[in-house]
Structure 1
Amino acid sequence: MSTITITESAEKYLAELLEKQNTPGIGIRVFITQPGTPYAETCIAYCKPGEQKAEDTALSLASFTAWIDAVSEPFLEDAVVDYATDRMGGQLTIKAPNAKVPMIREDSPLNERINYYLQTEVNPGLASHGGNVSLVDIVEEGIAVLQFGGGCQGCGMVDTTLKDGVEKTLMERIPELKGVRDVTDHSNRENAYY
């Protein structure tokens, strides 16, 4: 069973679009380009009979079938396709909170787990200041070497952010992590938040 939700309003809207195609049995295909990366884009395309792939998951709706791309499916967990009307007409929206996030398990490699928490918990907070942080390397058995960018680079509060924010979050989530180290050149203060 797929974990993507297509609301009634979205199903009705898509059914109307599909009807205009005059192709019996046409459905839609939901997929993500570059899943698990910051560049992930969730897409819906027409899917004529026979265009679906053998490994796709069929999601049977009242008026058509939605084919879910097998590679994209784990990244479509908790995704919602909705259609909302407004003064300008309406808009189909796809919210896929896990599209850009690499899937991890407890036995995933340490670097994948660090990247996961940086993308899902740390960077959304830093983004409000135009900043971000990324993993450069893991050294000395469990020290994560990090690089700050954007508004964090050259920011006077970066040490506090590193210790009280980033390190605390990562060490709570990943018990075997021993600490973090910043290798950013903070002498460039051009875009610094503080």
Structure 2
Amino acid sequence: MNREKPAEKPLIATLTDGAVEKVREALQGGNYEGIQMTVSRRGGDFVYKFDYVEKGKADPRDFNLPCGDYRFFIDWQSEDLIKGSVIDYVHAGFTQAWVIDNPNPAWDSEMAREVARILDEVINPGVGEHGGHISLVNLKDNMVYVEMSGGCQGCGMAAKTLKHGVMKILTEKFPQITDLIDITDHSAGTNPFFNNEKGSIPTFKS
């Protein structure tokens, strides 16, 4: 009995010749099967992370783009953030960089876009005076996920800043928000504004 082969997934994104050549240059001579790209969001922008994939260590759930003798994997959880994109690597004078033409909106709901705007325009000017920055990472089931960086990362006042400052401002605009979750790795902070619980939280201007 002959069974039909399962239909292949449509390509989630497209690699240019420049991107394929960059992957080849980066991987030749090593014990690597390919490169994996993971896409996340910070504030109103996409963040692209590239990692080497050792032979035999690829996640079978990842998307696999044709890339010459190697593989270009896209993290399976990044599908909605990267679909339809063109991935390029350009040489322009002394500048060499990955360039991603991504047609997707960073946030697909008006609430998420407004939360990101409030963080950027209302919250961050205040925390910026302390050398810090707060980015929206996700908004799911009325819970806001943020990441703190700069002087906020490892700061002893981080929890108070979020609870008494950021949460208050966000729930005034969106009463349906039930929680504000900090996903920051505070143990990795190298220049916290406060090293302990003494001090004051930033002032936010509406």
Length-normalised TM-score, structure 2: 0.46
Q: Normalising to structure 1: TM-score of the pair?
A: 0.49
